Amino acid sequence: MRIERAPDADAIAKRFDFEAAYQKFVEELIDYQRMCGEMLFMPAQWDNIPRILFSDLLGYEAFLTLIGLYPDRVAKLIEASAAEAYLRNTVLAKAIEEGLYPHAVLFGEDICNQRGPMISPDFLKRYYLPQLAHSLEPLLKVGCRPVWHSDGNILPMVDMLIDCGIQGFQGFQTECGVRLESLVGKRTSEGQKLLIFGPLSVATELTRLPPEQIKLRVRRAIEICIENADLVIFTSNTINPDVPLENIYAMYEALCD
C-alpha cells in the first residue's frame, strides 16, 4: 500500500519550490565554506541520484525478493526517487553556474558486493539506468562531472554507468578486485578522460602500511593516471581513527615532493 500511495513525477514537480530549495542550499553551502576557511567545502550529494536499494523499508532479503516478484512496483519507487533527484540537481546546477560549487559532484549507492551488482543487469538497464541518466541531465548541461562512489566490485557496472553520464569513480576496493588499471583507459560518453577520486584503501593500505609505503602508493597512482585519467588523491572510504595520522600526512607530502 505504501508503494501504491507514492506520488508520481508530476506531483513531485508541482510541489517543489525551487527558489526556497536553492536559497536553503546556498545558505548552508556558504556557512560551511566559511567554517572550512581555505579548504574547499565540497560535500557529497547522496540524495541527488535515484535510489535503487530501498532496503530500509523491508530489509535486504525482503526487498530483493520484491524486485524479483514485483519489479513494476519497485520501478514506481525508483521513478519517484529519480524525480526528486532531478529537481535537486537543478538546484545544484544553478549553484555550479553561480560559482558556488565545484564542477564535480560525488554521489552513488552501494549496489555491489564483493562479486558484483546485487541486482540483475537486466533490471538495472530496464528500470534504473534510464532514470539515472535523466536525473543527471541538469548537471551535464552546466559542465559538471558526476563521480560515482563505488563499494564492492563495481567493474560489471562501469560501462553502463558511463553510458548514463557518469564521468568518474571513487572507491576502489582492491580487495574486491577493483584496481586503477581496470578503469583509467576508459573514456566518458563524450570521449573525455575519467575523473578518478582515489585510490588509497582505508582497509588494506592506510591502516596497515608505514608512511613511506603510503607515499609510494600515491606516486604509483599518479604514474598510472598520467595522460590516462584526471586524478584527485582520495581514499576508498571514510578515514576513521584507526588510520595513523602520519599516514594522512604522508598522502599530502607525496604530492608536495
What's the pLDDT tens digit per position in 152-187?
A: 899 999 999 999 999 999 988 888 888 899 899 999
pLDDT of residue 54: 84
Q: How far apart are alpha carbons 60 and 46 in whole angstroms?
A: 19
pLDDT tens figures, 98-136:
999 999 999 999 899 889 999 999 999 999 999 999 999
Consecutive H or E run containing 49: none
Q: Judge if pTM exceeds 0.85.
A: yes
Assigned C-alpha cell, 100: 558556488
CA 202 to chain centre: 17
pLDDT of residue 237: 87
CA distance to 45, 96, 170, per residue, from 146 (Å): 10, 12, 11
CB-CB contact of 107 with 45 (8 Å)? yes
Q: List the one residue out of 165, 116, 163 whose CA is nearest residue 143.
A: 165
pLDDT of residue 1: 54
Q: Which residues of the chain have pLDDT under 70?
A: 1-2
